[in-house]
Structure 1
């Protein structure tokens, strides 16, 4: 399993130049203003303005540099820097610098507390989401979990994969909400999936088990809170990786990456998320795909497609994965995440979970191999 990490904060490198720019700007402004106009208050405010961003040393240094500028300005204009009228302004200057230092320390303590909370949340997330094996038979497996930097709360994203007598069954899902309630639902769904993957005779049977579990969680709440629902893709790969069956419950479509092309495996019919079966029809649609050798199947949560850049444009993973890439799931996920962070300026607003499966490669896999074929199975599947 890839490391669970918080998305790195944006680097505000311009902040390191803010104190110098501020002091220089005030210095120039003073030279351009009439003799009787004083810009001393602007210099006194400099350490307070930079206190939330810089270190304690940087804040105090800004105060010292601003004080030096306040001493030099009168000399440049041909008068003494210290007089009876300067006692109160300089006292105010020292007071504001001390106040800025106190504010800086308080903010630094809050940042440390938030960092500790995030580390605890990530540790819990690791405990809930165990590492899958790197290989299951002929299939290569890779996962990633990226925690949003703006949240210390534990997310509801999850993935699971299990070899069974029916093939390799897998799931990626996103529980509505965050915090301990989401973790409880995630833990329950993981246990239910692993049991259902072994015991259910077909994919709709696995979906029924999961639907029942979410319904039980809602019943346990007794209507005291918002109804829990879960978007998910539950899938089944044949043992040789040649056939894929999916049941998409309101989740972003998986991507099939093969020979420089990424194609969404959209469901033939829409379905409601888990926990909302009472609002939908009785059938559980299952889509079937014939997969090419050497392809990589990529599943992800909506934190990927709902990520935005500074203009509010949503991220689309298809263009990045529609480039020549090695048929290795780890490489594919690393390339996707690097492009996602570039799009968002290294700042995620929601957790991201990814699961990639590398299909077996055929040495005779020539350019004439056909892409994945799709059809919707006529499963007479009834909801619970």
Structure 2
């Protein structure tokens, strides 16, 4: 039986500021000197936990001052993007399209009845089936074309002011031609839709094969994952994630291949395949990182000169040891820093003790990987993400800062990780106006609260 705190995800007032600011000032205000702080590149890594273990995190709190970020030129507005990167039609636009053909028919009938025979409503009748063709089924298109032809024939022949027979025949033949053209357009569009549906089905199968959705419960941990590709109609791109339950504990990876879209899928497959094999076989997380390094170097040599293989990969490797109730080990290879959300709403930015180059850049030099160990208390959630989250920009070029947005918020219970990721996806869409500019992958891992905690 596990406890999870109050239901729902609540945000504390004013909490969560300073995710990108000077966290040293915020860490030292709570009283006296900081205990056990380490420095890496001039940035402190945090306080010691009550048990004396090093947390390895920089706290994100509201007292901290934020550093100014360089402003970037806003990207041009883009169409609204639905989940998975596809362009979506807004409900108002869809309702207008559906209402337009009957409105045109009614307008044509009224115009023809209220005007002399010298004026014709044929353009309105012709527009109705042409608008229907690309948006409706064949049956609806044929029915609209038939109504248009019948309306022209009946109205012109029964017009109270009369009309020349030649004009009636001409308009009727014109409507027959337009109706036939509408049917052809409908068939062409429907065949294109079928091909698109087939391509989407293949893309979905590719995503399930390369990036399968992890089970919500692995190794006693609550887990959730999200992936959204930047390219329209693409279900997989240059970001990756994987979760593996191994004899050494639960191991995870989140990474970002250079480039995006379908051109990066080959590198994603290489990294995921190498990770799953190494995670089972290697005794240490450092050895797993070296296996990934060698796999990318080997694949790069094999594909030398081919554009299909992207180069380096930024990644975060995580190990939650089996039987260990309080720590997590992390290796960061040039990737955005993970976040730790505690059960009480406190947030820590997990900075690496030593900076390291991304995977696949071994030609520039070799160095030993060293995993940082961080407390992972019950009720805490570890968030791994790619720069599609931290570099999402609004129309003014301002970045979305997850450390600032999440501080003080609580996502309790087994559904907490999924609720957290759903919240982030919604907030990023609102922040960017729905315009996806980069692939986005996220993993959230929560250590449940047990009866003895």
Contact 1:271 1:280 in 2 (8 A): no
Distance 1:16 1:309, change over 3 A: farther
Q: How does 1:88-127 map to 2 (within 5 A)?
A: 88-127=170-209
2:234 touches 2:261 (CA, 8 Å); kept in 1?
no
Residue 356 (structure 1) shift: 2.5
Q: How does 1:203-222 map to 2 (within 5 A)?
A: 203-222=285-304
Q: What is the CA–CA distance in structure 2 between the aligned matches of 1:25 and 1:306, rounded to whole Å?
A: 50
Cα distance in 2, alignment partners of residues 274 and 108 from structure 1: 45
- Give the one of 116, 139, 142 matched to 1:60: 142
- Residue in 2 that maps onto 1:373: none
* Deviation for aligned residue 1:171: 0.6
Distance 1:194 1:241, change over 3 A: farther
Contact 1:164 1:198 in 2 (8 A): yes
Query: Where in structure 2 are the equivalents of 1:1-384 lying within 5 Å?
Result: 9-10=88-89, 12=91, 13-14=94-95, 15-24=97-106, 36-67=118-149, 70=152, 78-80=160-162, 83-129=165-211, 132=214, 134-145=216-227, 150-152=232-234, 154-164=236-246, 167-175=249-257, 176-179=259-262, 182-200=264-282, 202-225=284-307, 227-239=310-322, 240-259=324-343, 261=345, 263=347, 265=349, 267-268=351-352, 271-278=356-363, 282=367, 286-302=371-387, 319=405, 323-328=409-414, 330-334=415-419, 336-337=421-422, 340=425, 343=429, 352-363=440-451
What whole-Å deviation, never above 9, does each CA across 1:219-264 have from its counterpart, x for those lacking one? 1112232643323221122443522332333444434334474847
The alignment's C-alpha RMSD in Å is 4.3
Residue segments in structure 2 that go unaligned for 5+ positions in a row: 1-82
Q: How far is 1:113 from its partner?
A: 1.8
Structure 1 residues 337 and 192, CA gap change in structure 2 (3 angstroms) = same
Q: Deviations over 1:304-327 (max 9, x none)?
A: 567789999877766479644333
Residue of structure 1 equivalent to 2:6:
none
Larger relative CO (CA 8 A, sep 6+): 1 or 2? 2
8 A Cα contact 1:149 1:347, kept in partner: no
Describe the shift of the 1:44–1:185 C-alpha distance in structure 2 as closer, same or farther (beyond 3 A): same
- Secondary structure of the 1:256 match is strand
Instruction: Report the number of matched residues.
Output: 359
Aligned counterparts of 2:340 and 2:196: Cα–Cα separation in 1:
38
Give the Cα–Cα distance (whole angstroms) in 1 for the partners of residues 168 and 125 of structure 2.
14
Alpha-carbon distance, 1:359 to partner: 0.5
**More deviation, 82-91/140-149:** 140-149
**SS of the residue 2:311 aligns to:** coil
The 1-side partners of 2:175 and 2:370 are apart by 71
1:360-382 Cα deviation digits (max 9, x unpaired): 315576xxxxxxxxxxxxxxxxx
- After TM superposition, the score normalised by the length of structure 2 is 0.63
Contact 2:228/2:235, CA 8 A, preserved across alignment: no
Report the 3-state secondary structure (helix = DSSP H, G, I; strand = E; otherwise coil) of the residue aligned with 2:449.
coil
Q: Give the unaligned 5+ runs of structure 1.
A: 366-384
SS in 2 for 1:142: strand
Cα 1:128–1:238 change in 2 (3 A) is same
Find the residue that maps to 1:62 and give its secondary structure: helix
In the alignment, is the contact (CA less than 8 A) between 2:390 and 2:402 conserved in 1? yes
Out of 335-344 and 43-52, give the one that drifted further: 335-344
For the residues of structure 2 that align with 1:59 and 1:65, how far apart are their CA atoms?
A: 10
TM-superposed CA distance for 1:91, in Å, is 1.1
